[in-house]
Amino acid sequence: MRNITPGFTFRRLWILPLLFVVAVVIVCLNSYFTVSAGNVAVKLRLGKLIGAYGEGVHYKIPFIDSVEKFSVRIKKDSFDTEAFSKDLQTVGLTLAVNHRILPNTVESIYRNLGPEYTNTILKPMVEEWTKAVIAKYSADSLIANRVEVARELNEILKAKMAEKEVIVSDIAITNFEFSKQFLKAVEEKQIAEQEAKRATNLVEKVKKEAEQKILQAEAEAKSLRLQREVVSDNLIKLRQVEAQLKAIDKWDGRMPTYMAGNQMPFVMVH
């Protein structure tokens, strides 16, 4: 018969209470869960939805109940997608979508959409309606109408996701990408438009210069015509009188001297 020493029995009895304490601690730690600010949680009991819980500490049955947590803060997700423009150009887009869920809809969202609703519902919805909106615009008008495209997408997604109880607060187009062939065609078109504009400006400049010369010639012709009209008999007589007055102003008061035998006076200059 095997002998059991007292020391061995004591050690084995000491382990049992320790194991019990550890088990109690584990059970206690799994008997509650906490929900931090900005989050909500749903509790499941063997896969069945029990309810939703807000911020704070809540009880659960250890190893039977499980918890799924959701953020109710505004989240920003970026989606890359492709679409075809009205003129059948391939357009790559990056869209930034701000969205959130409300605490009072978390149970419904969990049942109908699941915890991964961003990938299962939001992303496909963004891709679908982006294609529909982009198809209304030609490729070269998309950049100029970027704000309008984003506004239209925002209105559509707000309405569609509201039906799913997801709140879309804003959507922005952060990037447009076009094929190299299209970008080259756009560049060539811009160069042609610039050259045409320069040619138009040159024509306008020459036209204005010609108009200025015509106006100047007309003004000169009008001036000459007015001068001819002013030169009359009265003006000639006036000029003669002015000449006589100038001669009188120059006379020194001496009478002219006549030479004998001459009928015409000979004025001696002193």
Q: Domain coordinates of the chain in residue numbers?
A: 6-71, 75-178, 194-270
Tokens coding 149: 């495209």
pLDDT of residue 188: 63
Separation of alpha carbons 208 and 75, rounded Å: 61
Question: How does DSSP classify residue 164?
Answer: T
Buried b / exposed e over 106-128, threshold 16 CB at 10 Å, is beebbeebeeebbeebbbebbbe
Instruction: Please state the separation of Cα 252 from the chain's center in Å.
Output: 93
Residues 6 or more apart in contact with residue 64 via CB below 8 angstroms: 45, 46
Separation of alpha carbons 37 and 73, rounded Å: 9
- Phi and psi angles of residue 37, each rounded to the nearest 5 degrees, phi first: -60, 140
pLDDT beneath 70, residues of the chain = 1-14, 16, 18, 20-25, 27-30, 182-183, 185-193, 195, 199, 202, 206, 210, 217-270
Q: Is the dihedral of CA 113, 118, 120, 125 positive or negative?
A: positive
Distances (CA, A) of 109 to 3, 77, 125, 165, 190: 66, 18, 16, 7, 50
- 137-154 tens-digit pLDDT: 988 788 788 888 889 999
Domain 75-178 CATH superfamily: Band 7 domain (3.30.479.30)
pLDDT of residue 22: 66
Separation of alpha carbons 28 and 2, rounded Å: 41
Separation of alpha carbons 150 and 152, rounded Å: 5
pLDDT of residue 115: 82
State the number of CA atoms in the 13 A half-sphere of 39 facing the CB. 14
pLDDT of residue 193: 67
